[in-house]
């Protein structure tokens, strides 16, 4: 969510645009070079690298060093679903532990 009137950081703009491109690409497909992305977006190389880093952190792309960046086998949305499931399981376990600790403390009194 963004605040109205405040533009997104440039690296986030790059990541958002490339995320849409990646959704249309096949796993293993190569992304455009950094130079091509600099020309496309009109941003500095570091900004492009930061945008790509966001997608790598999400698991949407992988870097092969000097060979470039490639679409990963899984999409970022898959990772989000996995994280939500893990968080849900952690929450359930936390509640269960709290309940068990409550029982053991009440038994001591």
> Bigger pLDDT: 80 or 92?
92
Give the separation between CA 25 and CA 76, rounded to whole angstroms: 13
- Can you read off the two tokens belonging to residue 49? 């690298």
Q: For the purposes of burial, counting CB atoms within 10 Å of the CB of 25, is it exposed (0-12), middle (13-18) or buried (19 or more)? A: middle
69 pLDDT more than 60: yes
Q: Which stretches does DSSP call E strand in 1-109?
A: 61-63, 69-71
- Integer-rounded Cα radius of gyration of the chain: 21
> Bigger pLDDT: 102 or 66?
66
Please say whether the beta carbons of 26 and 71 come within 8 A: yes
Please say whether the beta carbons of 32 and 72 come within 8 A: no
Of the spans 55-59, 71-75, 94-98, which averages the highest pLDDT? 55-59
pLDDT tens readout for residues 11-54: 999 999 999 999 999 999 999 999 999 999 999 999 999 999 99
SS3 52: helix
């Amino acid at each position: 969510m963004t605040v109205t009137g405040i533009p997104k950081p440039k690296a986030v703009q790059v990541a958002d645009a490339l995320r849409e491109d990646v959704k249309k690409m096949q796993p293993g497909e190569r992304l455009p070079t950094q130079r091509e992305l600099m020309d496309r977006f009109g941003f500095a190389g570091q900004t492009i690298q930061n945008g790509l880093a966001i997608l790598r952190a999400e698991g949407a792309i992988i870097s092969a060093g000097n060979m470039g960046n490639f679409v990963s086998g899984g999409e970022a949305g898959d990772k989000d679903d996995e994280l939500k499931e893990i968080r849900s399981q952690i929450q359930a376990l936390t509640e269960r532990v709290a309940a068990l600790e409550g029982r053991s403390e009440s038994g001591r009194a």
